[in-house]
Structure 1
Amino acid sequence: MTSYFAEEARSRVARLLRMAATADDRTRARIVEYAASTPDPPPYGPHGIRTTGCPRCLRTMWQQRDLLVCSACGHMEDSR
């Protein structure tokens, strides 16, 4: 069993590949491409992760404390 510390030290790509549990080279390449082309989600906070759609570019906005921040264009809105 992997310790919590070792799991946290793994890269996002390694975690996604481990979750997919596939040996198919095409699927693994798609996962690596996905991880490289999408931003990492923010750290998991005490209230969980909240997302919504960005009104400007239609990508994902992540809650960062009292703000929603778009992962693609950087648009910000008050989350209250």
Structure 2
Amino acid sequence: MTDFADEARSRVARLLRMADTMDARLRARIVDYVASTPDPPLMGPQGIRTRGCPKCRATMWLQPGLWICAVCGRMEDE
């Protein structure tokens, strides 16, 4: 498979492929995980860095010089 075709897959399809299991319970847990967590931003030169949001306890993503919460939108300087 080409890199382009792999990138066109959904996040859940990629994680299920990486898990390489036919266990229905495990596959359902992976689908639930993807549904309950935000998609990460595009990979930047710093890679992907995360931390917990102090307001809602969701995931904050580091953008250039700025932490942004994926759920409540809270922003903090790096």
AA in 2 matched with 1:59: A
Match of 1:51 in 2: 50
Match of 1:5 in 2: 4
Q: TM-score, normalised by structure 2?
A: 0.91
Moved over 2 A (4+): none
Give ranges in structure 2 of 5+ residues lacking alignment. Answer: none
1:1-80 alignment, distance < 5 Å: 2-79=1-78
Shift of the alpha carbon at 1:59? 2.1
Cα deviations across residues 24-52 of structure 1 (Å, max 9, x unaligned)? 01111111111111110001111111112
Give ranges in structure 1 of 5+ residues lacking alignment. Answer: none
Residues in 2 aligned to 1:3 and 1:38: alpha-carbon distance in whole angstroms: 27
AA in 1 matched with 2:17: R
Residue-pair matches, total: 78
Provide the alpha-carbon RMSD of the alignment: 1.0
Percent of aligned positions with the same letter in both sequences?
A: 67
